[in-house]
């Protein structure tokens, strides 16, 4: 298959070593962050917050968050150009959803007379909410859509990246308490450019299950 989209997805890979001298150009970063914002989510809930680690001070904090575990990912904190913390809202309430429905109307996407019917779609969130108001399983799932969208966008921009579930949500929660404001980060995405000659993962073929094992066309 020689489609450009397939070539780009074959070229994207998980970077294991970054070139600390290379930084993402501001206009490329802007595109990546706009793609992130445009990500789809169930009932357009957008129950997420994306914290972009850019400054040396923030990189130091991210670096420190690997003190207890997953040290194999720690070098990316400083060597990658940027890292995005994908955070979900563990208690996504109907009041919070109302703000999204407000934007549905103010953007011109939703006719005002359909406001209440769209607000009723919160039932999808309710069905995933426990008696303590926790719906983090469902909101976390939404952040992975944004993650996938970003992975593809970065591939198109020729920017390398590393998805990291190997982070310490507890320490990140402490060190970025103010910015997270109650949201929870359990996955992060380092971005930048691989280091020539030092990234064992660069240039290797894709390792995926054959289509007949994972795709069923009826
Ligand atoms: C949700 C998720 C979490 C991951 N966590 C890590 C991680 O902590 N560290 C790492 O080096 N790679 C991590 N990876 C990378 C995967 O191992 C990688 O995507 C997979 O082997 C496929 O290879 P490719 O990304 O190079 O195509 C993660 C990937 C995903 C999607």
Give the CATH number for residue 80.
3.40.109.10
**CA-nearest residue, atom 30 of ligand 1:** 163
Probe target for ligand 1 pocket from 152, 165, 208, with the most ligand atoms within 8 Å of CB: 165
Q: Which CA distances in Å does 161 have to 65, 81, 193? A: 19, 10, 8
Flag whether pLDDT at 126 surpasses 80: yes
Per-residue confidence band for 85, with pLDDT thresholds at 50, 70 and 90: very high
Best CA proximity match to 96, nearest among 133, 45, 51, 167: 45
- Domain count along the chain: 1
Q: Is the CB of 13 under 6 A from ligand 1?
A: yes
**CA-nearest residue, atom 7 of ligand 1:** 164
Ligand 1 centroid, distance to 72 Cα (angstroms): 12
- Percent of the chain past pLDDT 70, that is, above it, reads 100
pLDDT score for 189: 99
Flag whether pLDDT at 1 surpasses 80: no
Report the chain's mean pLDDT, rounded to a whole number. 98
Q: Is the CB of 173 under 6 A from ligand 1?
A: no
Could you tell me the residue range of the domain that residue 12 belongs to? Answer: 4-214
Per-residue confidence band for 2, with pLDDT thresholds at 50, 70 and 90: confident
């Amino acid at each position: 298959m020689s489609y450009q989209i397939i070539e780009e997805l074959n070229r994207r890979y998980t970077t294991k070593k970054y070139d600390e001298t290379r930084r993402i150009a501001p206009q490329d970063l802007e595109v990546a962050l706009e793609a992130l914002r445009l990500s789809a989510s169930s009932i357009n809930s957008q129950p997420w917050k994306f914290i972009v680690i850019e400054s040396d001070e923030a990189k130091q904090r991210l670096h420190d968050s690997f003190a207890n575990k997953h040290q194999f990912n720690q070098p990316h904190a400083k060597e990658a150009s940027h890292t995005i913390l994908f955070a979900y809202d563990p208690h996504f309430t109907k009041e919070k959803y109302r703000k999204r429905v407000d934007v549905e109307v103010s953007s011109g996407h939703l006719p005002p007379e359909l406001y209440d019917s769209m607000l009723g779609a919160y039932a999808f969130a309710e069905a995933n909410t426990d008696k303590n108001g926790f719906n983090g399983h469902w909101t976390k799932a939404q952040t992975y859509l944004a993650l996938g969208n970003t992975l593809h966008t970065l591939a198109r921009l020729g920017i390398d990246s590393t998805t990291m579930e190997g982070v310490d949500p507890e320490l990140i929660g402490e060190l970025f308490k103010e910015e997270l404001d109650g949201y929870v980060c359990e996955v992060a995405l380092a971005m930048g450019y691989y280091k020539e000659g030092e990234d064992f993962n660069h240039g290797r073929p894709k390792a995926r299950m054959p289509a007949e094992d994972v795709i069923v066309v009826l």
